[in-house]
Amino acid sequence: MMERILHVSSEGTPLATPGNELPDTNANSSGFGIPMHPGSFAGVASNAPSERWVPRRRCAKTRSVKRRSWISVGLALFAIALVVLVYFWWNASIRRDRAELPRYGFAPEFKLRDQDDIPLDKERLRGKIWVAGFIDVADSDSNALLSSRFAELDQNFRKGERLALVSTVLPAVNQRVPELADFARHYLASSRWHFVSGTSAETHDLLDRWEPIASTQTDRKVASRFFLVDSEGVVRGEYDGRSPETVQRILEDIGTLLRSGTK
């Protein structure tokens, strides 16, 4: 029996010798009639890079995500535009409110002394928004109610440098001028709240000069009225001091004047 001797190189690679032909490794066949892929050996799959294939479903999903992103951006821009439009509408409504505040004419001139014995007149109040009212010492019930309303306004004026309150104390006929400092201490008045008075003739004359502004009211009782005066000395509002809504109404109208930038 003959043996086939396989000659091997020093590297361990089989050598072709006569009678010992090596199979053609470049052939596209495995030797068993099975076609082989280029670059593969004995049916082992090739590691050569193949063309990338992206599923159609994944592409559709990507487009859907992008579409939703654009919709979100569009909704955000719409919301911003809506906020801007609401702001301008609100600002325009404020301007309309300013225009609707009536003008009753200029507040009467006066010159009286306050609780610090300092003269107070309209010129000293120029540039301020102030509320005028009266304290009738002969009417103790009305006096307490109206003064409590002014005290509430004073509490709300704490941070308002441009705001002031002026309470004209009406002494009884043939009565001396009351101690104004006692009123200020009793109601814990701030420096913005001025209690002023004079002789009975002076204060009642001032009361009469406020009367035309309150002439549209049914009772025409000027001593129970409050008057809102702007920084130019023009009366912009008059209120029934006995009404529980008066303080809120005055604060709202003061806010309107402050927003208007009246100097």
d(CA 237, CA 253): 8
Q: Which is more confidently placed, 49 or 141?
A: 141
Residue owning tokens 């705001």: 163
The SS3 assignment for 94 reads helix
CATH number, span 111-259: 3.40.30.10
Q: Decide if pLDDT at 147 tops 60.
A: yes
108-128: b (≥16 Cβ within 10 Å) or e: bebebbbbeeeebebeebeeb
**pLDDT tens, position by position, 191-234:** 999 999 988 889 989 999 998 887 655 556 788 999 999 999 99
CA nearest to 133, candidates 215, 193, 220, 198: 193
pLDDT on residue 67 = 76
**Domain boundary assignment for the chain:** 111-259
**Integer angstrom CA distances of residue 204 from 187, 197, 207, 221:** 23, 10, 5, 13
pLDDT of residue 215: 63
Query: In angstroms, how far apart are the furthest CA atoms of the chain?
Result: 161
**Rounded to whole angstroms, how far apart are CA atoms 107 and 99?**
19
Model confidence pLDDT, tens digit, residues 61-81: 677 777 778 888 888 888 899
What band does 59 get if pLDDT is binned at 50, 70 and 90?
low
Coil, helix or strand for 156?
Answer: helix
The arithmetic mean of pLDDT across residues 118-125, rounded, is: 94
